[in-house]
Chains A and B, each alone.
Chain A
């Protein structure tokens, strides 16, 4: 028992160290490289008023732009990876993730509906609109998949239909109602973009990710019980409907909040859970935290790459994740065929 606790603590500390290192790099690397020690001193100044004498501009870049951006990137990666694990396990579908199932597209439509059309008359915030859009899209896709036979293929095809429909709706709203400047901004945001991220975004992204992780961990054993399908889960004592509502709700919430902050980013939710399974196996007690960590680190690195790969230009982060994710997706597809 004591050894298990020590081990858990050691692994937790190691994970934290990896995460801190990634954030550190994320704040140091960029168009103007800032030395690692300056980053550390900035953090010390801001977190507990250490009083180091630093260049005001460097300190400002590190704290106001890069660190907040890196934290949101980490949250986004973790949240999307967790959503992917949950959807893959609940639907027993290796190709499920919020992007493939149209949840991200629905969230975009909801967000655009609030921003451009003013839906919700000011009561509905941007993330809430995205959440409603995400749930609507999932409902649509689930209904369509159920009517077309519930198989792995049916779910994915329904997801394609859902994504297309909601992306078309988004384009329609933007083209019809937005002015040219709004439209340009939204199109850039739609591809996934961390440029505008500041600390207020952190105070939304961080709690949502933390709550999402806790709820998922709370249901880790329930997710394990879905290994042999819903009926098997029910016979193992899982209240299937409740598990579905809570877990799909949490996945939709995490996806919607991330979409409302950084736009819709593909392939993270799909690929990261598979990578994590290769490292820690299929048990959700390990798979969930591992996916969250790998997702967070992956996203910070993707963000760094998006800033330095073309000098003087920022690439949408969705481009980087797709460049890595699409080949991985192809690999998963072909492996699935080999084992089936």
Chain B
């Protein structure tokens, strides 16, 4: 607090910039080519990386640099620095690493960036080490988050049973002033004493109250919510267990309570070339208790928690199976597009489980199911993609891939069995003019790869018209038609219907 009783606040970005500068200078010196340190801006985590250092790190030098950085940044405690190491992944790939290092680096950055909140920073050391500082999390929460992010990276690169390749370390200061790295051994170890947070879960009632001292995880999450306006929910262990039974073999893994409130709506997908709506996209949602009647994307609510994400996918699959069964019974013949997370499918155990569930769908109804893989990281490996979709293809009409609208190269998709590629633009914080340019580029790239395209989240008529004009094969969003509680029927839908009074 300031002398006049007002809260003295340093502008977040200014403070972060200072820290970034120090990290840059201390870790990479003032000369030469240094990798960018990335700060998630206050408003949105739009980030830009430029280059990696391209050299392997020497740990002693690394520790020395970290120590100097900490000495010159008293506000930054060593224990807030968490490090994700991919050296074992690199060793696993052997000579192959040279070929895929850049792509692996892109995947790692992409995963990290997806989980950054305003004020968080990360940097790379060499091409296989990533340092994270989470501005608003307690030490324990930061370790949990860092471990989950690291786990997602190695699972994306190597698939299931890959946790042995993950190295997560926390910097610790010794009495003599030296710095050491403490290895975070397992998820169990990470979770000892730490609670799970969920960035989109309902906020505590006292969200407008001043922040409390962050002495316990529960206090911390409440304070975080109060400070940031984001909703954080601490989940008590017993409630967590009751609300979200987790996958076999991972009984100690986290699960988020948001799934207790998950609900499904179906979004009509317009096929403008055939002038029809015959496909309905299943959209899992969670009710936002702080906004009356509003619902948010359930995928975002479980982001960063692989077990909760897998559970969401299984819940979604169960709902879609039930709808297909109902369709078979009453003679409706529609196509349902069902989202499944890439992260879930990277796990062999989850893939087997999902494949078995899909296999149980009546053969006559499998032709009405499209599996849409979501949460695919930028720079995904073709081999991983093929591995992921192989067990799905035999149980459905088609497998599609949802990627970023900024994607302009689909060479990795060719020959994988992916039938369609698309993007969701509902939450893009960009002007329509910019989005429209991206639509055109995306479509042109997809045409080169000869894949069908779809666009989710065309929230206005102008965006829907632009998508159709650009050549997208399927378009949905409020600009086309509102969501329904169940896939209803095949509806003739012509361009003129886009302009019908609503």
Bound together? no
Interface residues of B (CB under 8 A from A): none
Interface residues of A (CB under 8 A from B): none
